[in-house]
Amino acid sequence: MEIILYAEGLFKSYNGNNVIKDISLSVSKGDFLSIIGNSGAGKSTLLYLLAGIEKPDRGKVLLEGKDLFSLNDTEIAAVRAKKTSFVFQFDNLFQDLTVLENVMLPGIISGRKRKEIKNNAELLIEYMHISRIRDSKPSEISGGEQQRTALARAMITNPEILFLDEPTGSLNSEAGNIIMDILKNLNKEHKVTIIQVTHNITNAQRGNRIILLKDGVIQEELTTELDINTKN
């Protein structure tokens, strides 16, 4: 399986506090990886390093073989925008824009034709089952709908890798399940590589790999039953 993301010997500390300690990890194209662990274990920090949002003190991250941190900040931002998307736990939608406009925005910034982006955004909105509220403002829609809007917005640039920090963290289980079904589908049908941080073990098991982080180190890697079944 082709390796899409490879991290080697990552270290990160904040104010002398070692948060990530010598983490190495390789992610194959098409993986759906869940990172779990206690609060403060370093999950978000690891995700930021893998996504190139934060720089490690030591170690490297190769994205499709390219050494991310050997690039300057502008180049890193360009690679990130082209290849990846990131959904933050409390992802802020622009309150003055409609659902459709929010989804279109990263596409517009990327400089593609407006008409093409609009068509693409409408398809994504349909895919996320939020067509009904496409002209609503974020304040007028539910938390689950906001999260699905954030997901559609993340997908508008057609990322190879989708990073998500607690994508269902603020949602009830029903709204959370809808998000997880969508992610599963994006991974299976659209071959998007997914790396998510989650507290929820059931949601973690929707992926094919689970990494347990403890005090900044990978304590264990588990393969989910789902994955074992598909391999047999």
Ligand X SMILES: Nc1ncnc2c1ncn2[C@@H]1O[C@H](COP(=O)(O)OP(=O)(O)OP(=O)(O)O)[C@@H](O)[C@H]1O
Distance CA 64, CA 52 (A): 13
Q: Terminus-to-terminus CA distance in the chain, angstroms?
A: 16
Angle CA(5)–CA(26)–CA(71) in degrees, nearest 5? 35
CA dihedral 56, 87, 200, 44 (to 10 degrees): 20
Shortest CB 176 distance to ligand X, Å:
16
The residue nearest Mg ion at its CB is: 44
Q: With CB under 6 A, what is the number of residues at the site for ligand X?
A: 11
**Cβ neighbours of residue 57 under 8 Å, at least 6 residues apart?**
11, 12, 13
42 binds, among ligand X, Mg ion, none (CB under 5 to 8 A by kind): ligand X
152 binds, among ligand X, Mg ion, none (CB under 5 to 8 A by kind): none
12 or 134: CB nearest ligand X: 12
159 CB-contact burial (10 Å; exposed 0-12 / middle 13-18 / buried 19+): buried
107 or 216: CB nearest Mg ion: 216
4 or 41: CB nearest Mg ion: 41
45 binds, among ligand X, Mg ion, none (CB under 5 to 8 A by kind): ligand X
Distance CA 37, CA 16 (A): 21
Shortest CB 208 distance to Mg ion, Å:
22
Shortest CB 61 distance to ligand X, Å:
16
Angle CA(91)–CA(119)–CA(147) in degrees, nearest 5? 20
Which string of x and - marks every residue 38-67 that binds Mg ion (by CB under 5 A)?
Answer: ------x-----------------------
Shortest CB 134 distance to ligand X, Å:
31
Distance CA 154, CA 85 (A): 5
**Joined tokens for residue 15:** 């104010």
What's the residue count for the chain? 232
Question: Which residues 34-93 are close enough to bind ligand X by CB under 6 A?
Answer: 37, 39-45
**Joined tokens for residue 221:** 């890697």
Shortest CB 34 distance to ligand X, Å:
13
Shortest CB 157 distance to Mg ion, Å:
24
Binding test (CB under 6 A) with ligand X, winner from 5, 7, 10, 19 = 19
Question: Which residues 115-174 are close enough to bind ligand X by CB under 6 A?
Answer: none
Distance CA 208, CA 10 (A): 23
Binding region for Mg ion (CB under 5 A): 44
Binding region for ligand X (CB under 6 A): 14-15, 19, 37, 39-45
